[in-house]
Chain A
Amino acid sequence: MVNRIVVGAHYGLKDWIIQRGTAIIMAVYTVIFLAVIGAVGPDSFEAWRGIFANGFMKFMTFLFFLSLFYHAWIGIRDIWMDYAKPDGLRLLLMIATAAVLVGYAGWAVQILWRM
């Protein structure tokens, strides 16, 4: 594969599948979250915190965050590939995107386990 084009948008079946997989996880979480909010109707700090103190919700919320960051990585990278044409700039933007998302993942752990 000498002529492989490595800079076009939307290549990579693996990424395509991961973007769909993470989308499904987030969609399911959204439904669960809205159902829990609807059922609990949290109106105080204790009630709100109680939702995320629950082991199942903590796990699901963390899974949601990880899916979100991976999903956003693929999506934003596609957007840079469409609009940021100079290779240097594109690389810089991709690195910055990956860097903040890894940072957010650490932040999410801290929020959920130090609350």
Chain B
Amino acid sequence: MAEIAIKKKRPKNLDLLSIRLPLPGILSIIHRISGAVLFLLLPVLLWLFQSSLASPESFATFKSVVGHPLIKLILLGLIWLYMHHFCAGIRYLLLDLHKGIDLESARLSSWIVFGVSIAMTLIIGAKVLW
């Protein structure tokens, strides 16, 4: 069926250095990556949650694990991934309702997602990690 050969040379632009992904595109790919990374780390996060609740001893273990500077940095990254997915997710829900669908608003709301998620990450990080 799909045997019709395409002989004409078509212009291709897969030069990664010359492609400029627009901001909503970057938002979208980070949304997918954040969902996948959070999924992959679910066993670790569930283990941390369990340790924090099971007993005073496991809570102490939890405290010492999340007290490590490198772990704190990783957790800050995860909080950002979650906050990005959360804010971008709400943006998608609004787009599904046809709110802010035109190019100008879509760009503006992408900026807002990045701004709000980074601000929330810093606030939460300052409150609970440091």
Contacts and interface: CB of A to CB of B under 8 A. Distances in A.
Interface of A: 20, 23-24, 26-27, 30, 34, 37-38, 45, 48-49, 52, 72, 75-76, 79, 100, 104, 107-108, 110-111, 114-115
Contacts of A79: 32, 35-36
B93 A48 contact: no
Contacts of B59: 45, 48
Contacts of A26: 86
Question: For chain A, what secondary structure do more than half of its interface residues adopt (helix, strand, loop), or is it mixed?
Answer: helix
Contacts, number: 50
Given A26-B86, A30-B86, A79-B36, 18 more contacts: A20-B93, A27-B86, A27-B89, A34-B124, A38-B127, A48-B59, A49-B53, A72-B35, A75-B35, A75-B39, A76-B35, A76-B36, A79-B32, A100-B43, A107-B50, A111-B46, A111-B49, A111-B54
Contacts of A104: 42-43, 46
